[in-house]
Amino acid sequence: MLTVRHIATAIATILVLSACTGPPPPTYGDAFKGLYNQSTASVPADVPVTVQHPIGIILNDNVEAYFRWVQASKQYWAGTVPTSLTNNVVIADGDPMFLSGRVLGMLKRRFPDALEVKDFPAAVSAGKKTIVLVDVVPKLMEPYGDRTTKFDFTYYFFDAKMNPVSKLSGHGEHYVAFGAADAGVQVAVDAALAQLDQKMNVLVR
């Protein structure tokens, strides 16, 4: 039989658990949302692509949304946990600079003249002949649920007429054991990008 003590304990548990999860993750939308008036559903997957130079790189709104969420979470924990007890490992693991650096580094290593551009009008006025639109759909580990961190990267290739011609995807995940100090973001990102890199070796010229 439920007693007042049981109910109070349950409420306290819920409060504690919710306090441990931080801000809720964002809802990720279509990769072209806010950039290109078309659905990604019609873009063919794994079609060989011959790129033309110069190349522009656009990181889409899902990347921006993920970065904002990481920033909000960091601020939340900074206000919750004393500075001396800050988990610097998990902060380094989820730092947006890592994801940006890895994605841009990978693309620039393959296409040295590639430059990041804000959107398609900017790309056109800069004379870009190929656009690589980067989409990411992350799923961070849940401390009290699925403890697997997953990252799905998709590169959409646009030709000189700014029409999407192909999309290549890479998936990476990492199970976070109990007691781990980080969320396995870097491991999952590296795995997804490695898979994507292998596909590009075959399909992109």
**Which residues lie near other proteins (CB under 8 A)?**
34-38, 52, 57, 59, 61, 63-64, 67-68, 71, 84-85, 87-89, 91-93, 95-102, 104-105, 108, 115-116, 118-121, 124-125, 127, 129, 159-162, 181-182, 186
| Shortest distance in whole angstroms from residue 186 CB to other proteins | 6
The C-alpha atoms of residue 93 and residue 187 are separated, in whole angstroms, by 9
Residue 50, classed as helix, strand or coil, is coil
The C-alpha atoms of residue 83 and residue 77 are separated, in whole angstroms, by 10
Instruction: Indicate the residue among 64 and 146 with the shorter CB distance to other proteins.
Output: 64
The C-alpha atoms of residue 170 and residue 161 are separated, in whole angstroms, by 26
Residue type, 204: V
Helices (H), 39-95: 61-80, 88-93
| Shortest distance in whole angstroms from residue 131 CB to other proteins | 11
Instruction: Indicate the residue among 13 and 75 with the shorter CB distance to other proteins.
Output: 75
The C-alpha atoms of residue 205 and residue 200 are separated, in whole angstroms, by 8
Instruction: Indicate the residue among 8 and 143 with the shorter CB distance to other proteins.
Output: 143
| Shortest distance in whole angstroms from residue 175 CB to other proteins | 16
Q: What is the DSSP letter of 21?
A: H
Instruction: Indicate the residue among 6 and 53 with the shorter CB distance to other proteins.
Output: 53
CB distance 178 to 89 below 8 Å: no
Instruction: Indicate the residue among 91 and 203 with the shorter CB distance to other proteins.
Output: 91
| Shortest distance in whole angstroms from residue 194 CB to other proteins | 14
